[in-house]
Structure 1
Amino acid sequence: MEFQPLKPQLPHIPDDLTIGQFVFDHAHAVRPKEKPGTPWLIEDATGRSIGKEELRERTSCLAKALRYKYNVGEDDVVLLFSRNHIDYPVAIWAVHQLGAIISGANPDYAENELLYQLQATKATILIAHPDVLSVAEAASRQYGLSPERLLIFNTSTSKNQTKITSIEDVIQLGRTHALSTFQERKLKPGEGKTKLAFLSFSSGTTGRPKAVAIPHYSPIANVIQIVVHNRVHEEYCAFEDRRYRPGDVALAVLPFYHIYGLVINLHCLLFSGMSLVVVPKFNFVQMLESIVRYKISHLLIVPPMVVLLCKHPAVKNYDIRKSVRMIMSGAAPLSHELNQQLFHMLPDAHIGQAYGMTETCTASTMWSLDRKRGVSGGSGTLLPGTIARIIKPDGTLAGYDEPGELWIFSPSNALGYLNNEEATRETFVDGWVRTGDEAKIRPDGEEIMKVKGFQVAPAELEGCILEHKDVDSTCVVGVPDEYSGEVPMAFVALRVDAAKRIEGDPREADGIKASIMKHVAENKVAYKHLAGGVEFVDVVPVSPSGKLLRRVLRERARAMKQREIKAKL
C-alpha cells in the first residue's frame, strides 16, 4: 500500500522564485508575521547581529562584484569550502542572483576529496574559510583554478594575512561601484522546478559521492511542507506552548553545506521569523555557553550531540532549562535510553526526530505536532504532500508494520545525480526516490526506520583501502554504534607476503590493522574513518558475477558485535 499523511493539502508552492527571493520577499500565505527588530543572524563569537536589510544589501553587492570582476554567470558553479559563517548565506543568495549554482563542501575534507568535488562540479570560483585555506590552495592548484578565483571569508578573530581576496573586499567593490546595469536573475513560471540551485553531495545508496541536482523549487517546497506540518503560521494554541514562534532563537551549529543545516536550520527557520546564532565549528562546552548567553530556544542537532547533552559532566554547570524549549534530532536514530534522558532533562520541551536525505531535499517525516514528545525509535509522520511506499525484498508493497525499503514521493525531491544517468535510474524512479533505508510504518502513521547521517560510500573507502600495500581485497560494511548510529568496518584479505609476516609473528596483525586505519584517516574526512575496525578474512566473498557479498559480511559483523556486548555483561 501507499502511505499518505492525514494532513491538509499543501498550499501553492511558487515555481518562479529563487530560494533567496523566497526567503527575502515572498509574502506566502503560510509565512508568519515577523517580530519587529528580530535579527536574522547573530555571530556566535562576537554577538554581532545582522538584520534582513543588511543581509539584502551585502547579497546584492556581492552579486554585482562577482558578475563584473569574476564574470560569474548562468549555470556557473561556485564551491563553498567553509565552516558556518555569517556570509555563507550571503554567498548562496548572491550566486543565485546571477543564475549560478552553489555546491557546499565539507571543510574537514582532505585535499583529494575537495579536488574530487571541484572536478565533479567544474567549479569556477572557490570560496574557503581561513581555517582550511591551505587545503583549498593545494586542491585548487591541482584542479587548475587561477589563484585570483580563490576567495576567503573574513573572520572576527584574525585579519586577512594572505594575498587571497576576502569576501568583505568583494562586497566593498560592489558597494563602491554603481554597476547600474546589473539585473538579478528572474525565473519564468515553472522554471524553478528545473533551474539548479545546489549541487549537494551524497553517497546515495552505492558508489562514490555524487552531486545531487537540486532546483530552487525543492528547498522552497520543503520549507512550506515543514511550516504547514508545524502550523508555524497559525495561532493553534497559547503562544508559550507553540513549537515555533517568530522571535525565537535557534542554534545554527549544523553545517550549512549539509542538507539538514542548509534547508531546515537556515532557510526554514529564517522564513519562520527566527534568529540564528551562527556557530562555525561544534564545541560542546562552548555550545552550552552560547545557549545561556543568547537564550537559545531551539536546538537542531544530531545524535552525537544528544549523547553529550545527556552524559557530559559539564551540563550540570549550565541551566539550559531556562531557554531551551525545542530539540529536533536528525541524521541517525536516537536510542530509547537517550530519548528518555532528554525527556527527563527538559520536561517541558518539544523533543522529537525527523528523517530525510539529500535526494529528498531534506525532511520527509517529522514528529507530529499532536505530541510534544516523539516516539522512541520513530522519525515522525509524513510531511504534507509526501507519499511513502515500503517495498519488501520480493518487490511487493508492504502493509503496516512490515519492513522493507522506503521510497519517497515529494514535491521537494531532487532531479537526480549530475552527469550520472546510471545512478539516477537506480535511485530516482518515476518521481520516487529509493532511499536505500529500511523502514516500517505503524498503523498510526508513525514511521520507524534505520537511517544514517553523513553517508559513507563503501566503494569509496574500499578504493582507498586497496591502495595500502598489504591489502589484496576488501569489503566495507556499516556496523551499529550508539554514538554515531552506524560506523564503517573493513573486512580485509591480505596479500601473501603480509599474511606470511603474521604467520611468523602474530603481533604483526595489530600493526597492519593500525596501518590500514591510519591510511584511511590520512586520506578521508573523520566520519569516513574505520571506527568499526579492521578484520582479516581469508577471502572476501563475491558472487559469481564478481559482486561483493556485502550482506554476508554485514551479518558477520553484527554477530561479532553481539558477542562483544555479551562478553561485557
Structure 2
Amino acid sequence: MSEIYAPVQDFPKIPDNLTVPQFLLDVNHPTRPQPPSVGTPWLIDDTSGATFGKEELRARTHGLANSLWTKYNILLVQPDYPVAIWAVHRIGGVISGANPDFTVDELAYQLEATKATFMFVYSDAQAVGTAVAAARRVNIPLSRVVLFGAASELSPESATVDELARQGLLSRETFVERRLAPGEGKTKLAFLSFSSGTTGKPKAVAIPHFSLIANVIQLAVHNRINEAYTTWEERRFRPSDVCIGVLPFYHIYGLVINLHFILFASMSIVVIPRFNFVGMLNSIAKHRVTHLMLVPPQVVLLCKHPAMATADVSSVRFIMVGAAPLTYEVTEQLIRIFPNAHIGQAYGMTETCTATTMWPIEHKRGAFGSGGQLMPGIVARVEKQDGTLAGFDEPGHLVIKTPSVTLGYADNEEATKETFVDGWVRTGDEVRIDSNKEVWVLDRLKEIMKVRGFQVAPAELEGCLLDHPDVSDACVVGIPDDFSGEVPMAFVVPAPDSAKRMQNDKKVAGQIKTSIIQHVADNKVKYKHLAGGVEFIDIIPKNPSGKLLRRVLRDKAKHLQKSRALAKL
C-alpha cells in the first residue's frame, strides 16, 4: 500500500504571514465561530472568579509588550501565562515554556540550551527560588526575572506582570509590532518547546508561528467548529462552552489544544494555578465546566478517586485524552461515569506541533484503543522493518507529513536528520492503520517513556545515575503503572567496591538502593523519580556497537513486576 491520506483533505488557506497573537487576537479566520455575545469571557480565574474578555486581554498584551520592549528589549522568556506569550510574540520574541517544578539543574539546562535572556515565573517560593538560582548560574540578571502575582522577597529586583502591563498601557508606545512577510510565518520561530524526540536528552523543538496556526485550523476543520452539522445539543465544540485548563501551558498539548484551540473555538477557559484533583472537581461544579482535556493519570482519578462519590460533574459533555494511550478497561469505566459525553483520544507529538489524529466527528465515542482518525491535511506511511510500506492493518513504523510540521531540533543537526526526513516526521511509534484511516498505536519503537503524559528520556536518568558513586553502569526502562501509565525503573551494575560491601553485608544492598533512588529524587523533577525501583544486575546487555539492549531489560522488568505482584498474594 502507498501513502495514506486523511479522509478530509480540503481546508481553507493557512495564513503564513501572521504571528500567533495576530491570528488569535486581530483577524477572523473563516473556520472560526463567533461567540454568542461580546461579553463571553476568554479566561476565568478559578480562584477569584474574575473574567477576562478578548479586548481586555488584547489591551494587557499590548501594554506588557510595550513595557518589555521599553525596559528590557527582550527576545526570549519562560512563560506561564498567555498574555506573556502573546506580548513576547508582539515584539518578535520566542517562548520556551518550562516546568515550574524543575530542579535548578534542569532549569539551567533549558536556559542554556535556548540561550534565554529573560524569565517569567510564578510567585510561589519554590518556583522563585529555583528561578533565582538558575538565573545566577547562567548569568541572567535578577531584574530580568518577572513575577506572576505578588512581589517576592527572594527576588526584590523583580517586577510583576501586572505592574508592567499597567505601565505599558499608560506609557508612550515605543515598540513597532513585528509584521511578517508572505511565507515568513513558516520560518519565524514562536516557541522552543522541549521534547526528548526518539532518543537522548530533551531537545528544543523549533516551532514557527505557522505550525501552531496550522494545527489549530486542522483541529477546527476536523471538528467542524463553525458548522451546524448536527443539533446544538450534540455539537462537539460550541461557542460559550467552558473548558478547564488543567494541562500545563508549557506542555505542547496544553499550549496548542487546551489554550489556543479552545480560545479559537470561542470557548472560555478556567485557568488554575496548579493541578489538584479535588480542586478540579470543585472547579467543574463552580464554573459548570463542559470540556475536559486530560492525560491518562487524570482519567484514572476520575474513575477511582473517592471524591467522585459526591462530585457534581453533570455539566461535563466532552472528554479528550492525549499524551499517552488509554487502556480499554479505563475507557469503559469513564464511559460508565459519563454516559452522555463525547469521549475519545488523540495522538500527536511536539515535533508535529501536536495533534495528527483525533476520533471522527461522526462518532460520539472513539473506538476503544484507537488514537483516532488522521487529521485534515495529514499523509501517513507505515514502514515495515524491511523498508517496504505496510498495508491496512499491518504493523510498522508511523511516518507522518503534516502542515503543522516543525523546523527540527534547535542547534542539533544530527538529531534533526534522524527524525525529520524530506518533510516527513519519523514518530518512533509502531502502529497499524485500518481502512477507516484510524491509527492504533501498538508500541513505542523509540526509547522515551511517558510518565503521567510527560516524556522521560532514559538517557537523562542514566546520566544522573552514573554520577552516583555506587553505580558503575545503568539502564533505565519504563514499567506499566495503573496511575502513571509508566514509571522509570533502573537496572544498575554496582561499582566494584560497592559490590564487595553488598556481598559481605546483605543490609548494604538496601541502603545503596535507597541512596540511588534519593539521588535521582534530589536532582530530577518528581515524575522522573525511580518509582519502579532499582534492581542490581551483573552486566547491562549491549549489542556489538555498544548500544543498550533496552528491550531485553524491559522484558526482564515486566517479569520482575509480575513476580512482585504474585509475592503479594
Q: TM-score range by the shorter chain?
A: over 0.9
- The question of whether the paired residues in 1 share the 8 Å contact of 2:284 and 2:312 is answered with no
- Choose the corresponding residue for 2:129, options 109, 128, 134: 134
Give the % identical residues: 58
- The question of whether the paired residues in 2 share the 8 Å contact of 1:303 and 1:329 is answered with yes
- Choose the corresponding residue for 1:337, options 294, 315, 329: 329
The alpha carbon displacement at 1:555 in A equals 2.2
The alpha carbon displacement at 1:64 in A equals 0.8
Q: Which amino acid aligns with 1:152?
A: L
Q: Which amino acid aligns with 1:79?
A: Q
- Choose the corresponding residue for 1:67, options 66, 69, 72: 69
1:153-302 map, 5 Å? 153-154=148-149, 160-161=152-153, 163=156, 164-179=158-173, 181-302=174-295
Residue aligning to 2:77: 78
Q: Secondary structure at the match of 2:398?
A: strand
The alpha carbon displacement at 1:176 in A equals 2.0
- The question of whether the paired residues in 2 share the 8 Å contact of 1:195 and 1:215 is answered with yes
Please give the alpha-carbon distance, in whole angstroms, between the structure 1 residues aligned to 2:434 and 2:123: 48
The alpha carbon displacement at 1:562 in A equals 3.8
Q: Tell me the alpha carbon deviations over residues 377-413 of structure 1, each in whole angstroms, 9 at most, x when there is no partner.
A: 1111110001111222222222222222211110011
The alpha carbon displacement at 1:433 in A equals 1.0
Which of 45-54 and 487-496 deviates more?
A: 487-496
Matched, 1:149 2:151: no
Q: Secondary structure at the match of 1:63?
A: helix
Residue aligning to 2:26: 25
Which of 167-176 and 216-225 deviates more?
A: 167-176
Q: Which amino acid aligns with 1:197?
A: A
The alpha carbon displacement at 1:117 in A equals 0.5
The alpha carbon displacement at 1:472 in A equals 0.2
The alpha carbon displacement at 1:79 in A equals 2.1
Please give the alpha-carbon distance, in whole angstroms, between the structure 2 residues aligned to 1:191 and 1:508: 61
Q: Secondary structure at the match of 2:389?
A: coil
1:453-464 map, 5 Å? 453-464=453-464
Q: Tell me the alpha carbon deviations over residues 115-170 of structure 1, each in whole angstroms, 9 at most, x when there is no partner.
A: 00010011111111112100000000011111211111115xxx655512111111
Residue aligning to 2:11: 10
Residue aligning to 2:447: none
- The question of whether the paired residues in 2 share the 8 Å contact of 1:78 and 1:124 is answered with yes
Matched, 1:420 2:412: yes
- The question of whether the paired residues in 1 share the 8 Å contact of 2:458 and 2:477 is answered with yes
Matched, 1:500 2:500: yes
Q: Which amino acid aligns with 1:491?
A: F
Q: Which amino acid aligns with 1:27?
A: N
Which of 210-219 and 555-564 deviates more?
A: 555-564
The alpha carbon displacement at 1:345 in A equals 0.7
Residue aligning to 1:531: 531
Please give the alpha-carbon distance, in whole angstroms, between the structure 2 residues aligned to 1:288 and 1:553: 40
Residue aligning to 1:85: none
Q: Which amino acid aligns with 2:23?
A: F
Matched, 1:315 2:271: no
The alpha carbon displacement at 1:46 in A equals 0.6
- The question of whether the paired residues in 1 share the 8 Å contact of 2:383 and 2:389 is answered with yes
The alpha carbon displacement at 1:567 in A equals 5.3
Matched, 1:395 2:394: no
Residue aligning to 1:327: 319
Backbone CA RMSD of aligned residues: 1.4
Q: Secondary structure at the match of 1:417?
A: coil
Residue aligning to 1:58: 60
The alpha carbon displacement at 1:315 in A equals 0.7
- The question of whether the paired residues in 2 share the 8 Å contact of 1:151 and 1:166 is answered with yes
Q: Secondary structure at the match of 1:378?
A: coil
Q: Which amino acid aligns with 1:505?
A: D
Please give the alpha-carbon distance, in whole angstroms, between the structure 1 residues aligned to 2:559 and 2:301: 28
- The question of whether the paired residues in 2 share the 8 Å contact of 1:15 and 1:193 is answered with yes
Residue aligning to 2:371: 379
Please give the alpha-carbon distance, in whole angstroms, between the structure 1 residues aligned to 2:143 and 2:13: 43
Q: Secondary structure at the match of 1:425?
A: helix
The alpha carbon displacement at 1:8 in A equals 4.1
Tell me: CA distance 1:392–1:567, structure 2 relative to 1, closer, same or farther (3 Å). Answer: farther
Residue aligning to 2:341: 349
Q: Which amino acid aligns with 2:478?
A: G
Q: Tell me the alpha carbon deviations over residues 299-344 of structure 1, each in whole angstroms, 9 at most, x when there is no partner.
A: 00111110110001111111212x1000001111111111111111
Matched, 1:305 2:298: yes
The alpha carbon displacement at 1:568 in A equals 5.7
- The question of whether the paired residues in 2 share the 8 Å contact of 1:402 and 1:441 is answered with yes
Q: Which amino acid aligns with 2:560?
A: M
Q: Secondary structure at the match of 2:178?
A: coil
- The question of whether the paired residues in 2 share the 8 Å contact of 1:160 and 1:166 is answered with no
Please give the alpha-carbon distance, in whole angstroms, between the structure 2 residues aligned to 1:210 and 1:276: 29
Q: Secondary structure at the match of 1:104?
A: coil
- Choose the corresponding residue for 1:116, options 104, 109, 121: 109
Structure 1 length as normaliser, TM-score?
A: 0.95
Residue aligning to 1:47: 49
Q: Secondary structure at the match of 1:364?
A: strand
How many residue pairs match? The answer is 555
Which residues of structure 1 form unaligned runs of 5+?
83-87
Q: Secondary structure at the match of 2:455?
A: coil
- The question of whether the paired residues in 2 share the 8 Å contact of 1:259 and 1:361 is answered with yes
- The question of whether the paired residues in 1 share the 8 Å contact of 2:245 and 2:270 is answered with yes
Q: Which amino acid aligns with 2:510?
A: D
- The question of whether the paired residues in 2 share the 8 Å contact of 1:125 and 1:150 is answered with yes
Please give the alpha-carbon distance, in whole angstroms, between the structure 1 residues aligned to 2:504 and 2:364: 61
Residue aligning to 2:487: 487
- The question of whether the paired residues in 2 share the 8 Å contact of 1:154 and 1:160 is answered with no
Please give the alpha-carbon distance, in whole angstroms, between the structure 1 residues aligned to 2:468 and 2:228: 60
Q: Secondary structure at the match of 1:402?
A: coil
Tell me: CA distance 1:545–1:201, structure 2 relative to 1, closer, same or farther (3 Å). Answer: same
Please give the alpha-carbon distance, in whole angstroms, between the structure 2 residues aligned to 1:68 and 1:200: 27
The alpha carbon displacement at 1:505 in A equals 1.6
Please give the alpha-carbon distance, in whole angstroms, between the structure 2 residues aligned to 1:553 and 1:160: 47
Q: Which amino acid aligns with 1:24?
A: L
Q: Tell me the alpha carbon deviations over residues 61-105 of structure 1, each in whole angstroms, 9 at most, x when there is no partner.
A: 111111111012xxx22223x4xxxxx110111100111100000
- Choose the corresponding residue for 1:444, options 412, 433, 436: 436
1:537-552 map, 5 Å? 537-552=537-552
Structure 2 length as normaliser, TM-score?
A: 0.95
Q: Which amino acid aligns with 1:116?
A: Y
- The question of whether the paired residues in 1 share the 8 Å contact of 2:17 and 2:185 is answered with yes
